[in-house]
């Protein structure tokens, strides 16, 4: 069986998590690391005993000949670096969201097709341990026919939560629902309906966004519908980050660290309680390793997909569709109308809305989330 050669382009937090998973998998070998910060290269290289360390990714690819290049960098760099790496004719693993605009995502997916290589987008929740348990229970008929899905973020500012954690929620929903065909959304900011003056740059370089509190209604394949909430909390709460799948004979719960089942349609007082679903790690995963189980499962899916010459379950096309839903939510907030997917207009819907109202370009704001949040509160007069 082939061992896939992997290079890591970016050695910060997500790069370290990805590298640990590729290092732990028996069918992948890390052959090179690249970063512009020498201390990051040294720390990760020493941890994983990778001697090939670079500050030039083109040179790394030429000299190490990887099969896969992981690109766990800030979102605003995904398109530029993704296109440059794809020119080498290698598969890529890019962090979520795939890009900041649909125009960029279209070009990235087209370039991969031109070069006959694959894109995987790092939505590890869809291939993770809790979702494996939920999907297995659903496909065994445990809750009957699916009818509705409800998902929530963990309390980030709404637009940022949508671009960040919301990508995982949408991907998790689609594991059971299939594709999304339309969205209708409402935004609230500073106690009023989100308006064009509330279009601002996202923290952490994720593009343009709007909405402190976002509520979206989604229409999926098979007459399934769902609701996605991305509401700002006074304190971020990871336990709120979850999806509930409502069936005709019960409900399933997916969280970042757990899964459960309610075997009756209602959990009224005195009814049956939620039961935990048994979590099973991916084959070959060593809990004593430094790799996270969900990231390891994502790597294992990539190995299997390449073996079988098929798309990753979190392929470039899937990652682009997640971005289509997100842009549809922003467009619906701006227009007050239902948005059918995929959109004919592939540019970002929010900057024109702001500029048409006479507000000009988006203001400069800090990049780190908590500094950004303080600046946003000041903008709102809070």
* β-bridge partners, 243: 151, 254
> What pLDDT, on the 0 to 100 scale, is given for residue 31?
98
Tokens representing residue 77 in the block: 């760099």
Q: Are 202 and 219 in contact (CB under 8 A)?
A: no
| pLDDT over 80 at 265, yes or no | no
Cα–Cα dist 291/127, whole Å? 14
Q: How confident is the model at residue 280 (pLDDT cuts 50, 70, 90)?
A: confident
Cα–Cα dist 118/316, whole Å? 8
Pick left, alpha or beta for residue 250 (phi over 0 → left; psi -120 to 50 → alpha; otherwise beta).
left
Q: How confident is the model at residue 267 (pLDDT cuts 50, 70, 90)?
A: low
Cα–Cα dist 194/184, whole Å? 14
Each as own residue / partner, the long-range contacts of residues 48-56 (CB below 8 Å, 24 or more positions apart, any chain) are 48/19, 48/20, 48/23
Cα–Cα dist 240/165, whole Å? 11
> What pLDDT, on the 0 to 100 scale, is given for residue 235?
94
**Of the candidates 217, 152, 146, 145, the residue with the CA atom closest to the CA atom of residue 181:** 217
> What pLDDT, on the 0 to 100 scale, is given for residue 273?
82
Dump pLDDT digits (tens) for 17-28.
999 999 999 999
Tokens representing residue 140 in the block: 């065994």
For residues 280 and 142, which has the higher predicted lDDT (pLDDT)?
A: 142
- What DSSP string describes 263-280? SSS---TTSPPPEEPPP-
Cα–Cα dist 201/363, whole Å? 7
| pLDDT over 80 at 268, yes or no | no
Place of tokens 């050695």: 11
In what helix (H) or strand (E) does residue 307 lie, and over which residues does it extend? helix 293-307
| pLDDT, averaged across the chain | 95
Tokens representing residue 113 in the block: 């097709």
DSSP state for residue 36 in the 8-state scheme: S
Helices (H) and strands (E) in the chain, counts: 12, 18
| pLDDT over 60 at 266, yes or no | no
Cα–Cα dist 98/104, whole Å? 9
Residue 46, number of CB atoms within 10 A of its CB: 11
Phi, psi of 188 (to 5 degrees): -130, 135
DSSP state for residue 141 in the 8-state scheme: T
Say what the pTM is.
0.95
| pLDDT over 70 at 269, yes or no | no
Dump pLDDT digits (tens) for 78-95.
999 999 999 999 999 999
The torsion defined by the Cα of 256, 258, 259 and 263, in degrees rounded to 10, comes to -130
Percent with pLDDT over 90 in the chain:
94
- What DSSP string describes 332-376? HHHHSS-EESS-S--S-SHHHHHHHTT--SPPP--SSHHHHHHHH
Mean pLDDT over 236-242 rounds to: 93
For the chain, how long is the longest CA-to-CA vector?
65
> What pLDDT, on the 0 to 100 scale, is given for residue 263?
85
Mean pLDDT over 160-165 rounds to: 97
**Of the candidates 81, 101, 100, the residue with the CA atom closest to the CA atom of residue 7:** 81
By CB atoms closer than 10 A (0-12, 13-18, 19+), residue 382 is: exposed
Dump pLDDT digits (tens) for 309-340.
999 999 999 999 999 999 999 999 999 999 99
> What pLDDT, on the 0 to 100 scale, is given for residue 382?
81
| pLDDT over 80 at 254, yes or no | yes
Percent with pLDDT over 70 in the chain:
98
What domains are defined for the chain? Answer: 4-124+292-309 (3.40.50.720), 125-280+310-382 (3.30.360.10)
| pLDDT over 80 at 60, yes or no | yes
> What pLDDT, on the 0 to 100 scale, is given for residue 271?
63
> What pLDDT, on the 0 to 100 scale, is given for residue 256?
84
For residues 256 and 50, which has the higher predicted lDDT (pLDDT)?
A: 50
> What pLDDT, on the 0 to 100 scale, is given for residue 270?
61
**Of the candidates 318, 334, 320, the residue with the CA atom closest to the CA atom of residue 183:** 334
Mean pLDDT over 155-167 rounds to: 97
Mean pLDDT over 102-114 rounds to: 98
> What pLDDT, on the 0 to 100 scale, is given for residue 381?
87
């Amino acid at each position: 069986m082939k061992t896939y050669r992997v290079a890591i382009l970016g050695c910060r937090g997500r790069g370290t998590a990805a590298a640990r998973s590729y290092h732990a998998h028996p069918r992948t070998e890390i052959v090179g690391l690249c970063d512009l910060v020498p201390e990051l290269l040294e720390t990760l290289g020493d941890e994983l005993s990778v001697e090939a360390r670079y500050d030039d990714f083109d040179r790394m690819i030429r000299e190490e000949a990887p099969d896969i290049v992981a690109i766990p960098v800030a979102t605003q760099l995904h398109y530029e670096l993704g296109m440059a790496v794809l020119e080498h004719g290698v598969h890529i693993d890019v962090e979520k969201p795939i890009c900041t605009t649909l125009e960029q995502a279209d070009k990235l997916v087209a370039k991969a097709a031109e070069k006959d290589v694959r894109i995987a987008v790092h939505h590890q929740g869809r291939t993770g341990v809790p979702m494996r348990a939920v999907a297995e229970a659903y496909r065994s008929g445990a809750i009957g026919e699916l009818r509705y899905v409800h998902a929530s973020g963990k309390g980030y500012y709404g637009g940022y939560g949508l671009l960040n954690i919301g990508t995982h929620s949408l991907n998790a929903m689609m594991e059971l629902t299939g594709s999304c065909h339309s969205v209708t959304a409402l935004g609230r900011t500073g106690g009023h309906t989100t308006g064009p003056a509330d279009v601002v740059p996202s923290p952490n370089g994720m593009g343009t966004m709007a909405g402190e509190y976002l509520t979206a209604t989604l229409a999926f394949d098979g007459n399934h519908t769902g609701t996605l909430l991305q509401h700002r909390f006074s304190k971020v709460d990871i336990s709120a980050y979850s999806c509930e799948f409502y069936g005709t004979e019960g409900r399933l719960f997916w969280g970042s660290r757990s899964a459960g089942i309610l075997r009756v349609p209602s959990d009224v007082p005195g009814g049956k309680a939620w039961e935990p679903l048994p979590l099973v790690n991916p084959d070959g995963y060593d809990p004593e390793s430094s790799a996270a189980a969900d990231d390891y499962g994502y790597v294992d899916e990539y190995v299997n997909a390449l073996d079988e010459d098929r798309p990753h379950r979190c392929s470039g096309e899937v990652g682009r569709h997640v971005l289509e839903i997100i842009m549809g939510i922003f467009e619906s907030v701006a227009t007050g109308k239902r948005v059918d997917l995929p959109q004919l207009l592939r540019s970002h819907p929010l900057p024109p809305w702001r500029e048409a109202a006479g507000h000009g370009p988006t203001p400069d704001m800090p990049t780190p989330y908590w500094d950004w949040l303080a600046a946003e509160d000041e903008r709102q007069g809070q």
